[in-house]
Amino acid sequence: MTIERAAIIGLGLLGGSIGLAVQARGLGITTTGWDRDPQVRAKAAERGLVGRVCDTAAEAVASADLVILCVPVGAMGDAARELAPGLSPHAIISDVGSSKEAVADALSAALPGACIIPAHPVAGTEQSGPEAGFATLFAGRWCIITPPDGVDPAALAALSDFWTALGSKVELMDAAHHDLVLAVTSHIPHLIAYTIVGTASDLEDVTQSEVIKYSAGGFRDFTRIAASDPVMWRDVFLTNRGAVLEMLGRFSEDLTALQRAIRSGDGETLFDLFTRTRAIRRQVIEQGQDDERPDFGRGHGE
């Protein structure tokens, strides 16, 4: 099974980047796309995010052998119902949603009997919309595919090959395990960033202008994450509720332990933890997951 025609539903950061990557890498795959917002469709056509921007979802997916839903996770069911009338019976339906169990349920409810193989490229930025996409977003990044039981091996191989061709490293994972792993590596960090930025903006004895003026002390790194799309992240927390609450419970316990260490002047506990976390940062860099330049490579006025 080879993919010759791919349809992209939702032409924001992820959808646009897939369309651009397919074209930039010269994969010989024809792309069509649709987004519910006419202004997004117009911008997508102007930027050439896909070969052809269609007026309806059904038109976009007609004769596609791969359909990728790139909409917020809470909109997956609606988007799938919208495209259903045009779907070829042989098409592979996939997505890029950040939570996987809920999306798998929504897609199978909307498209009973279809070949559904959810996936999550662990690649993104805090930007969204049709202007945000770029062709190299997936290069060297992981794409986690969460195949359901009894998946067609040829369809799974075709989807894996597709992501590999976009430059991704592919990993297969059970959907529930994916949701737990991503809760700790992505969802909780976003929640912490949203919280700290919210707390700082609500303070009474430290002004907002002081928070912004002295943000280089660490705060500004949280503001990047806390600038992420509100719709996308609302949906992530609502659809990955169980795993997020489980990890949040663990995090709260660890935070309370640190609070106790600070209150009781237990420097050893603080030092030991900070030494362990420094080693994690080294591993992130060694495994090519981030730039090793200090302060994320910021120029500091050079």
Comparison of 110 and 200: residue with beta carbon closer to ligand NAP: 110
Q: With binding defined as CB under 6 A, does residue 232 bind ligand NAP?
A: yes
CA distances from 30 to 128, 177, 266, 281, 295 (A): 24, 33, 61, 40, 41
All residues at 6 or more sequence positions from 118 whose CB lies less than 8 Å from its CB, including other chains: 94, 95, 97, 100, 103, 104, 107, 145, 146, 148, 175
Encoded one letter per residue, x for contact with ligand NAP by CB under 6 A and - for no contact, window 43-72 reads ---------------------------xxx
* 19 phi/psi in degrees, rounded to 5: -60, -45
Number of H helices, E strands in the chain: 13, 9
Please identify which residue in 1, 27, 30, 37 interacts with ligand NAP, judged by CB under 6 A: 37
The number of residues that bind ligand NAP (CB under 6 A) is 32
Site string for ligand NAP, 76-105 (x = CB under 6 A): --xx--x-------------xxx-------
Is 40 among the residues that bind ligand NAP (CB under 6 A)? yes
* Distance in angstroms (rounded) separating the CA atoms of residues 173 and 282: 25
Counting contacts by CB under 6 A, is residue 118 touching ligand NAP?
Answer: no
Of 7-15, 19-27, 190-198, 289-297, the window that binds ligand NAP (rule: CB under 6 A) is 7-15
Tell me if 19 contacts ligand NAP by CB under 6 A: no
Tokens of 16: 């646009």
Query: What is the edge-to-edge ordering of all strands in the sheet holding 30-34?
Result: 52-53, 30-34, 5-9, 66-69, 92-95, 115-116
Q: Which residues bind ligand NAP (CB under 6 A)?
A: 9-15, 35-37, 40, 70-73, 75, 78-79, 82, 96-98, 120-121, 124-125, 128-129, 132, 229, 232, 236
